[in-house]
Amino acid sequence: MYTPQVREKMADKPKEKPSLFNFGAFATPNTCEPPAFTLNAKPATVSSFLSDIIPEKKSNALKLPAVRAVQPTFGLPWRNMEWTEEHKKNLMKTVSSYRPSCEMITGAQVLVLGPVGSGKSSFISSVQSVFHGRVVNRAMVGSISTSFTKKLQTFNIQVKKGEDSGLVMCDINGFGDGDITGLTLHDIVSVIKGHIPNGHKFSLEQPVTSETVGYVKTPSLAEKIHCVVFMVDASKIATYPKSLSATFRMLREQISNLGVHQVALLTHIDQICAATAADVSQVYTSSAIRDAMNKAGALLGMSTSYIVPVKNYSSELDLDLKKDILLLSAVDHILQYAELFFQDNKPKKKQMIL
């Protein structure tokens, strides 16, 4: 049934200290619950999603109270986390030894989705930085292209030089203006189903069809997306347009229908809490961040137990233990939900015919 690694991991589970992060992992996720909203009659396009959602338009903005830059902190942390070198080592070990429990699959494919500027590329780059042992800035971060090109790119996270982890992150790069550059819901669903080849350039004029060059007609389990990660910028939560919430919920319904679990990351936390900007280990005592987590949950239609905050390496030159721990915890969180997909979709063993 399980690979030796997974069996070993499962056997190890109870030995883990209970004080570590509890994301409610392996609890029954609510991702397949029927959504508490009715689908719009026009499901064809996800206008402006993944395009440049400009948060300044106040009239259109979500009516959420503004997040204050500096807020008093709670005395007690609202989530537990060990900020030690030892915990970082353990997390690195867990992440680098992870392999999907479906034997023929070498890596969990995780699609990162969110508005432009939310920190998708930075997150991928930051995770790679942790394993490289130094900050690596990928050219894709903050890249602005004047063309309206959106390209599917996959990144194998390497745990050592030349050694891939069991995690592949997929990013759809691109930068454009307003509604024209949004991907269609059909395109996103095609990516998740595994029909779209790496490097595919999306075009609104030419939506993906079975005639698209490189189109994968019958994707294998390995070619599908196994988990979706939504990115939300904490500093923009109060000003994201109202339509974003409907877009997220529509996407979540479609993705849940495909049996793919979803989690979310809250980025730019340093911009909403000065104490956390100065010391990331303050993250779980910050009321501003807790407040933003609740708002992100409302925006996504998702329980906050699926959401974790991260501080991406943006302008830093050096790694920081606490930022590394937060990033690795996020990866661990993602992998647990990706693994649920494998548990749900394990090929049934053929019955022996005697």
**Residues forming the site for Mg ion (CB under 5 A):** 120-121, 173
Residues 6 or more apart whose Cβ sits within 8 Å of residue 239: 55, 56, 58, 61, 62
Distance CA 334, CA 166 (A): 12
Q: Which does 295 bind (CB under 5 to 8 A by kind): Mg ion, ligand GDP, none?
A: none
Min dist CB 120 to Mg ion, Å, is: 5
Among positions 111, 141, 227, 328, the unique one binding ligand GDP when judged by CB under 6 A:
141
| 13: number of Cβ within 10 Å | 8
Contact 166, 334 (CB under 8 A): no
Within 8 A by CB and 6+ apart from 236, the residues are 55, 115, 117, 118, 268
Residue linked to tokens 């396009």: 45
Task: Please tell me whether residue 247 binds ligand GDP under the rule CB under 6 A.
Answer: no
- 255 touches ligand GDP (CB under 6 A): no
Task: Specify the 3-state DSSP secondary structure of 233.
Answer: strand
Q: Does 52 bind ligand GDP (CB under 6 A)?
A: no
Q: How far is the CB of 247 from ligand GDP (least distance, A)?
A: 15
Task: Tell me the residue type at 179.
Answer: D
Q: What is the CA radius of gyration of the chain?
A: 20
Residue 314's binding partner among ligand GDP, Mg ion, none (Cβ under 5 to 8 angstroms by kind) is ligand GDP
Measured CA to CA, the distance from residue 100 to residue 2 in angstroms comes to: 10
262 binds ligand GDP (CB under 6 A): no
Q: Which is nearer to ligand GDP, 212 or 314 (CB)?
A: 314
Residues 217-236 that bind ligand GDP (CB under 6 A): 231
Q: Which of 253, 270, 332, 339 binds ligand GDP (CB under 6 A)?
A: 270
- Which residue from 311, 327, 333, 336 is in contact with ligand GDP, where contact means CB under 6 A? 311
Taking the complex as a whole, the smallest distance from the CB of residue 140 to Mg ion amounts, in Å, to 5
Cα 282 from chain centroid?
22
Segment lying near ligand GDP (by CB under 6 A), choices 72-80, 183-191, 196-204, 306-314: 306-314
Distance of closest approach, residue 276 Cβ to ligand GDP, in angstroms? 10
CA distance 98 to 335: 8
Q: Is 117 among the residues that bind ligand GDP (CB under 6 A)?
A: yes
Binding of ligand GDP at residue 256 (CB under 6 A)? no
Distance, in Å, from the CA atom of 266 to the CA atom of 240, rounded to the nearest integer, reads: 14
First to last CA, the chain: 20
Q: Least Å distance between CB 173 and Mg ion? A: 5
Residue 125 Cβ vs Mg ion, minimum distance, rounded to whole Å: 9
118: partner contacted, choices ligand GDP, Mg ion, none (Cβ within 5-8 A by kind): ligand GDP
Please answer whether residues 329 and 90 qualify as being in contact, where contact means their C-beta atoms are separated by less than 8 angstroms: no
3-state SS string for 293-322: HHHHHHHHCCCHHHEEECCCCCCCCCCCHH
Judged by beta carbon distances under 5 to 8 A according to partner kind, the member of ligand GDP, Mg ion, none in contact with residue 311 is ligand GDP
CA dist 82 → 182, 286, 329 (Å): 40, 16, 11
CB nearer to Mg ion: give 101 or 173: 173
Interaction of residue 314 with ligand GDP, rule CB under 6 A: yes
Q: Using the rule CB under 6 A, give the single segment among 13-21, 37-45, 69-77, 109-117 that binds ligand GDP.
A: 109-117
In a 3-state reduction of DSSP, which class is residue 142? Answer: coil
Q: Which residues bind ligand GDP (CB under 6 A)?
A: 114, 116-122, 141-142, 231, 267-268, 270-271, 311-312, 314
